[in-house]
Structure 1
Amino acid sequence: MKAWRAYVGMVLIQIAYGGSNILIKIALDRGLNQVVFVVYRHMIAMVLLAPFAYVFESMRSRKKRPSLSFSVTLKIFALALLGTTVHLNVYYAGLVQTSPTVASALSNIIPSLTFLVAVLLGMEKVKLGSARGRAKVMGTLICISGSLVFTLWKGGCLFKGFVNRPMINIYDDRGSIVGLRHNKANWIKGSALILLSYIAWSGWLILQAIVYKVYPAPLSLNALICFFASLQSSLLAPLFGRSPSVWKLKWNVELFTIIYCGVAISALVYYLQTWCISNKGPVFAAMFSPLLLVTVGLFSAIAFAEQLHLGSLIGSILIIVGLYFVLWGKLGDIREEEPRVNGVEQSKPTEVSEDK
């Protein structure tokens, strides 16, 4: 059962991300400033994580948390820059131009980017002569193909939404419904921004695995990431949030989105994702991103009455098939690595040394 905790954790992470994508789209369309949002949500997460980090990683386990050297501090600063300041601000700018479903579909470029960088850095072993190696490569290609089909091909046959009328309407300041339709220019601009944000996210996944080896304290690590993220985005505020009114909070969906993302995403999900990466590696974590597409697509079809196209259905099927190909290959690697960690590798020294 313990071996499956990372799998369950990554599924929960994608569900949480799916909910945040919908809420963030609504809040941004209602006027929430993206820089203000990033600052507030990470301030909330820092306040939540810091006490737990102090109690569990400082008072009770002094040997667990190493000293915070200048080199480690710079690496954590870079983590915050890639995974929050650059990724989130650029992602939100693109999300305004597109829809949550399109943004989720484009997220499937993350596994291929992370896989490629991990192979180049020697963090991921690929043997094309083995079935597992071919499965991981084939699964990555299938995932990319599925995301391209989902994004670029709608098909001549349409499937109506699960409901005739949207359960959730997005209103702007004038009270008119903000539809999920976007012209071609905005779609291209938004897609380019989202792809750029996912490049930063892939670098964050790789760098996080590296930093965790020298600073194995997930609570303290994420608290520091949230601190630096708030600081970095605050420096951007004069450029994107000059009016003092954008910092005022009211009891509305914007405030709920800030609280949800601060507690559920920046605090709980960041910590859970750090734990999964430290145990299974960055490529394992990245390969669950296709589930975000399915989650957001289904919710959008129900809540916004968004129509499901034939291309969306075929693309989703390809993504799921590719995901299981890669997970099958990763599961085989994990099963061979576990005996070595537990000291059982002595019975099969040749096989383990080849896989290493």
Structure 2
Amino acid sequence: MNMQSSAPYAAMVLVQLSYGGSNILMKIALEKGLNQLVFVVYRHIIAMILLAPFAFVIESRKQRPPLSLSVMIKIFVLSSLGTTIHLNVYYAGLAYTSPTVASALSNVIPSLTFIMAVLLGMEKVKTESPRGWSKMLGTAICVSGSLVFTFWKGGYLFKSFENRPLINIYSTKGSSGEYRHAKENWIKGAALILTSHVAWSAWLILQAVVYKVYPARLSLTTLICFFASIQSSFLALCFARTPAIWKLDWNVQLLTIIYCGVVISALVYYLQTWCISHKGPVFVAMFSPLLVVIVGLFSAIAFAERLHLGSMVGTGLIVLGLYCVLWGKGQDNSAAQKPDEGKGLADDKTLEISINDHPLTNPDTGERK
């Protein structure tokens, strides 16, 4: 394998490492007092400032159609689902659970998106073909795995690598372990994260509709960041009125804001779109379970996180279901390209919408992120 052919693989590993870093940094920053509404505002302002010059220079006026009221409303709703609702609910759930849980549950997004696409008639399921059954079975397994992950803990499977966390992100009062278990509510946290993924799946569906009427990707991303910053600013004025929480100091909170705004919103988005253009969305989605391994190992060592039996079984079912769905989608793509190679590109637009996961095509987050 030469350097050119291995570049997409290296890029996707870097993408998953970047998302793992954002999940871990966000968990630490939230425990240290970072307000999630303030974070979302600052993050999207940074992303907007970074992306706007590139959108203006790279995309000509011919690529940027005029903004009608109808298009503006669609972009506004798109921003509400994929950024404002998704991120704020996701980070609320992350505060009650661990980065490992959040990373594992992100694998249900392809199945949730597939269900929505079928209900809206954007995805066809052929029950007489193996690929159709693979997609339906994979969706059922994935959803079942998420329910097992959320509601069945069943005791600990094994102890952590460390008796005490190397990085203590919890209160120093009393035992850190006692405080952690009092603070954590895995069922509540997992339920909030799953709710955020429903909004993200709806964002993926609506993205296809908006992109047809406004095909300037960088400009669209900039507008999404603009509306997201306004929406989150309004929420922050209602629920985060304390002026002190807007103050930025040289600490982990500021590092998290800069990291997510620059690395996730700019670099990761570019790498993902580049990999999709070269290898297709199925290739990109295949790397999503790597995030669970990266975050799980780091959390077990640094945070002394102990994994539940139900969490391990649920994660296995989610990954199994994910690959069943991806296999079916891959077969759909191959079948579409056989009769007419020229039609494959058009058919792939539906494929990209249906299987992308939590952080794969989010132009301003990426989270699973």
1:29 aligns with 2:31: yes
Q: Deviations over 1:85-118 (max 9, x none)?
A: 1111122222222222333344344333211110
> What's the offset of the Cα at 1:171?
4.5
1:41 aligns with 2:40: no
Q: Structure 2: how far apart are the matches of 1:76 and 1:100?
A: 30
User: In the TM superposition, what are the counterparts of 1:87-236 in structure 2 within 5 Å?
Assistant: 87-156=86-155, 158-172=157-171, 177=176, 180-182=180-182, 186-236=185-235
For the residue of structure 2 that corresponds to 1:308, the secondary structure is: coil
Q: Structure 2: how far apart are the matches of 1:3 and 1:330?
A: 23
CA contact 1:162–1:301 (8 Å) conserved in 2 = yes
CA 1:293–1:266: 2 relative to 1, 3 Å: same
CA 1:275–1:226: 2 relative to 1, 3 Å: farther
Q: Structure 1: how far apart are the matches of 2:103 and 2:244?
A: 31
Q: Which amino acid aligns with 1:81?
A: S
Unaligned runs of 5+ in 2: 345-369
Q: Structure 2: how far apart are the matches of 1:127 and 1:254?
A: 49
Q: Which amino acid aligns with 2:217?
A: P
* Percent of paired sites with the same residue: 70
Q: Which amino acid aligns with 1:76?
A: I
Aligned to 2:55: 53
Aligned residues: 341
Q: Structure 2: how far apart are the matches of 1:222 and 1:245?
A: 30
> What's the offset of the Cα at 1:306?
0.9
> What's the offset of the Cα at 1:183?
6.1
CA 1:43–1:344: 2 relative to 1, 3 Å: closer
Q: Structure 2: how far apart are the matches of 1:199 and 1:290?
A: 19
Q: Which amino acid aligns with 1:101?
A: T
Q: Deviations over 1:272-325 (max 9, x none)?
A: 566778999999987875554444323211221212333333333322222222
CA 1:40–1:343: 2 relative to 1, 3 Å: closer
Deviates more, 1:104-113 or 1:87-96: 104-113
Aligned to 2:356: none
Q: Structure 1: how far apart are the matches of 2:98 and 2:80?
A: 25
Q: Structure 1: how far apart are the matches of 2:219 and 2:145?
A: 38
Q: Which amino acid aligns with 1:49?
A: L
CA contact 1:99–1:180 (8 Å) conserved in 2 = no
> What's the offset of the Cα at 1:200?
1.3
Deviates more, 1:270-279 or 1:239-248: 270-279
For the residue of structure 2 that corresponds to 1:40, the secondary structure is: helix
> What's the offset of the Cα at 1:144?
2.2
Q: Deviations over 1:260-283 (max 9, x none)?
A: 111122334445566778999999
Q: Deviations over 1:170-227 (max 9, x none)?
A: 145979858542468x444433333322221111111112211222222111111111
Q: Which amino acid aligns with 1:141?
A: A
> What's the offset of the Cα at 1:77?
0.9
CA contact 1:105–1:293 (8 Å) conserved in 2 = yes
For the residue of structure 1 that corresponds to 2:160, the secondary structure is: coil
Superposition TM-score, scaled by structure 1 size: 0.82
Unaligned runs of 5+ in 1: 346-356
For the residue of structure 2 that corresponds to 1:165, the secondary structure is: coil
> What's the offset of the Cα at 1:68?
2.2
Q: Structure 2: how far apart are the matches of 1:297 and 1:220?
A: 36
CA 1:140–1:265: 2 relative to 1, 3 Å: same
CA contact 2:45–2:225 (8 Å) conserved in 1 = yes
For the residue of structure 2 that corresponds to 1:228, the secondary structure is: helix
Q: Which amino acid aligns with 2:181?
A: R
CA contact 1:46–1:267 (8 Å) conserved in 2 = no
Superposition TM-score, scaled by structure 2 size: 0.80
Aligned to 1:352: none
Q: Structure 2: how far apart are the matches of 1:119 and 1:323?
A: 16
Deviates more, 1:332-341 or 1:134-143: 332-341
- Give RMSD over aligned pairs: 3.4
User: In the TM superposition, what are the counterparts of 1:295-310 in structure 2 within 5 Å?
Assistant: 295-310=294-309
